[in-house]
A and B are shown apart, each in its own frame.
Chain A
Amino acid sequence: DSGVTQTPKHLITATGQRVTLRCSPRSGDLSVYWYQQSLDQGLQFLIQYYNGEERAKGNILERFSAQQFPDLHSELNLSSLELGDSALYFCASSVDAGPYGYTFGSGTRLTVV
């Protein structure tokens, strides 16, 4: 157990729908990062939050949004889902944004049918 908790582990939904993925960071970690891992595009950085504030944005689609709450858990909202959104979504956390590496959760596998 890495200490980073992601729920749900698996999610199957239809095109056009909206889903919410949840991440609880490791105790004491202030930064949360979201990544998308698909077969054809590898690991893609989506967005980072630090202590409730958006810190960095990567290749995140406009249909996707995220937030970090006062208790530091984070949610990634995916809307108007398309078949191509099927992927593994990972959350990672770190103490801060420094060069210490991240701790990853075990991921949410999203299947859009």
Chain B
Amino acid sequence: GDSVTQMEGPVTLSEEAFLTINCTYTATGYPSLFWYVQYPGEGLQLLLKATKADDKGSNKGFEATYRKETTSFHLEKGSVQVSDSAVYFCALIDNYGQNFVFGPGTRLSVLP
């Protein structure tokens, strides 16, 4: 079945450091890919998405590019802030919209 793998956390960075959170997926067909963020005590919020190969999703300084050849959707940010501390979930939905699969989440802590 479809699956999403993320790098294990926690990831601890200093403010203004470069962030990469790796995400790879296994799916048949052409899934849509998503990054969700969960701030402490809150629900999941959609951060960005990409619906086809080579699409780049971006939001709030975060970017991820849908790489079909490497089945990856790595999340990047050039300069993290303390307010970016949260849990980040990579997810996919198959092209029939029938199966939404989340990765295990990666906790990010940004220190001042």
Tell whether, in the assembled complex, residue B32 and residue A43 are in contact, meaning their CB atoms are under 8 Å apart.
no
Could you mark each residue 94-111 of chain A with 1 if its beta carbon is under 8 Å from any beta carbon of chain B, else 0? 001111111111110000
Q: Is B97 an interface residue (CB 8 A)?
A: yes
A-side contacts of B31, CB under 8 Å: 99
Binds A, one of B18-26, B41-49, B76-84: B41-49
Q: Interface size bucket, A side?
A: 20 to 34
| Contact surface of B with A, Cβ cutoff 8 Å | 31-32, 34, 36, 42-46, 49, 51, 89, 93-95, 97-102, 104-105
DSSP class of A's interface residues: helix, strand, loop or mixed?
Answer: loop
In the bound complex, CA of A97 to CA of B46 (Å): 16
- Give the Cβ gap from B2 to chain A, nearest Cβ, in Å: 12
Tell whether, in the assembled complex, residue A99 and residue B32 are in contact, meaning their CB atoms are under 8 Å apart.
yes
